[in-house]
Amino acid sequence: MEFEFLAKHNPWWKSREELLHDRKVSIALGKKAAYIPSLVGEKKGICSIRGPRQVGKTTALKLLIWESVFKHGADARQFLYLPCDVLADFNEIVKAAELHKEWLLRFNIKENYVIFDEITFVKEWFRAIKYLADSSLCTLLVFTGSVASDLKHGTERFPGRGVKTMFYLPLSFSDYVRLFGSGDLKKELAALNPLSMEEAFSDALLQKAAYIIPFLGELNRHMDNYLISGGFLSSGYQFNETGAITEELYEDYVNWILGDLSKLEKSEHIFREIISVLASKYGAELAFHSIAKATSIGSHKTVAEYLELLESLMLLNFVHKIDLNKKAPVFRKQKKFYFLDTFLFSAFSGYVNGKHECCINELNKPFAIEGIVLEHLKRKANRLLESVWYYRDRKGEVDFVVRKGKRFQAVEVKWQEKVSESDFSHYNIFKAPLILSKTTMHNGKAVIMPAAVFLALI
């Protein structure tokens, strides 16, 4: 590896003004409603960032460099950024960091901030990270990946080295309305700190809901938009700026994932069949063997392998049923599957249906809302641990169950015009359930709250 190669990917070493000409930085800063994420925090240590493809990790990292240089006075030369799809093997990761460090020492610059983007596609990448961690070569070492399981398993190979794990995900509904909402709504939300998981099921929820319930009409309009665009910045900006999402954007995302599957030597045909079943039975209880029977795949083990891969690519969320007597999930039985984001649901539903377009309709909208609620609950709980389940008995199903201290909290989604306490049938098991409605607000045996209000507050 030559120094010229590093300089090519880090033009801001010549002049910090080059950061402003970076395509991703200039597009992000040029938006009427610019989104500047808070990333990494203190610039020291080792940080692993996981997130789905095309969620904006690269843009966020380059905005981190821009903000550090232009707002906090860092020297642009301190930052090494490399996309790992240009690296041949793990040795080049080490060599890049060493060359950068040696160059900085010529200027007596002692602190260096090193970023390796999409590292999981470099074979044995973890060997390089372990070496860099042990040698303390980097003041800050950041590495990202879209194959979450590879990133997780890789970081487990060097315990005790203080690796901080972060998730960079599509915009939450709260972030979405803070970005695209009216000035008055943004102002109201800015005065309200997002609720923690514990606060979300306490009096604090009702207290804060009182401030934004006057905005329910606007919040539900944003919910309709969020169902279409999801939280991906590219689709969110495109929809809010033009009122539509192009076929090309859907197709581009699908092609990115198909490219990743090819790199992982997986079959597009099997992938397509499994996606077809998930899209047609969205939010329903499914077992691996029932999916296999509904396709030409035959083997439930193959189905399980592909579904686990889709989860590791951060495309799908699994929900296991919980056994309340054992206070543990039931792994061997049916599960519910939701896409991480509604944009993904439309992208892949369109892919199997042969037309790239929004696939949210009145029939599947309640299940799409369930998927949004699930993803937000997972974010508020510990995403590294299984923390959200569903419950079923002879009386029926409870959409989601989360742990609240020593007891379990029920969350039911009823996306309909009128909702009452009688829409929940498990009061003998769950006290004070939270029922998420379309417009109904009520506090009694159950807390009934518009889903858009709840999601805007957490």
Which pLDDT band holds residue 332 (cuts at 50, 70, 90)?
confident
Coil/strand/helix, residue 273: helix
Statement to judge: residues 119 and 204 lie in one domain: no
Euclidean distance between CA atoms 25 and 226, whole angstroms: 24
Among the listed residues 103, 100, 96, 81, the one whose alpha carbon sits nearest the alpha carbon of residue 25: 81
Question: pLDDT for 244-276, tens place per residue?
Answer: 999 999 999 999 999 989 988 999 999 999 999
Reported as a pLDDT band with limits 50, 70 and 90, residue 311 is: very high
Whether 185 and 161 share a structural domain: no
CA atoms within 13 A on the CB side of 80: 30
- Are 347 and 271 in a shared domain? yes
Domain boundary among 115, 143, 167: 167
In the chain, the amino acid numbered 192 is: L
Q: What is the band of 148 on the pLDDT scale with cuts at 50, 70, 90?
A: low
Listed in sequence order, the residues at least 6 apart from 415 whose beta carbon sits closer than 8 Å to its beta carbon are 365, 366, 369, 436, 437, 438, 451
Its sign, for the CA torsion 88, 90, 95, 97, is positive
Closest CA to 447 of 416, 403, 407, 414: 414
Q: Are residues 122 and 179 in the same domain?
A: no
Question: Is the separation of the CB atoms in 153 and 319 below 8 Å?
Answer: no
> C-alpha distances in angstroms, 111 versus 45, 53, 78, 175?
12, 30, 7, 33
| 416 and 347, same domain (yes or no) | yes
pTM beyond 0.75: yes
Average pLDDT over residues 315-331: 93
Q: How many residues does the chain have?
A: 458
**CA–CA dist 220, 215 (Å, integer):** 9
pLDDT at residue 284, as a whole number: 92
- pLDDT score recorded for residue 333: 83
What is the band of 20 on the pLDDT scale with cuts at 50, 70, 90?
very high
Out of 136, 167, 198, pick the residue that ends a domain.
167
Q: Tokens 């209880």 label which residue?
A: 285
- pLDDT at 156 > cutoff 60: no
Q: Are residues 137 and 280 both part of a single domain?
A: no
Are the beta carbons of 67 and 36 closer than 8 angstroms?
yes
CA angle 227, 338, 439 (to 5 degrees): 45
**Do 246 and 296 lie in a common domain?**
yes
87 and 211 together in one domain: no
Say whether both 334 and 430 belong to one domain: yes
Mean pLDDT of 181-195: 95
At 224 the pLDDT is 97
Here the contacts of 413-422 (C-beta below 8 Å, separation 24 or greater) are 413/366, 413/369, 413/370, 413/373, 413/451, 414/438, 415/365, 415/366, 415/369, 415/451, 416/366, 419/448, 420/448, 421/445, 421/446, 421/448
Which has the closest alpha carbon to 317: 288, 283, 272, 351?
283
CA dihedral sign, ordered 70, 71, 73, 75: negative
pLDDT confidence tier of residue 144, bands split at 50, 70 and 90: very high
| Pairwise CA distance, residues 239 & 155, whole Å | 37
Q: What would the pLDDT profile of 192-234 be if each residue is shown by its tens digit?
A: 999 998 899 999 999 999 999 999 999 999 999 999 999 999 9
- The sign of the CA dihedral 422, 380, 308, 176 is positive
Q: Which residue is associated with the tokens 């090494």?
A: 80
**Domain stop point among 124, 151, 167:** 167
* Number of structural domains in the chain: 2
Q: Which domain holds residue 109?
A: 3-167
Chain segment 76-113, per-residue pLDDT in tens: 999 999 999 888 899 999 999 999 999 999 999 999 99
Share of the chain above pLDDT 90, in %: 83
Are 101 and 243 in the same domain? Answer: no
Domain at 147, CATH number? 3.40.50.300
So what's the pLDDT on residue 153? Answer: 55
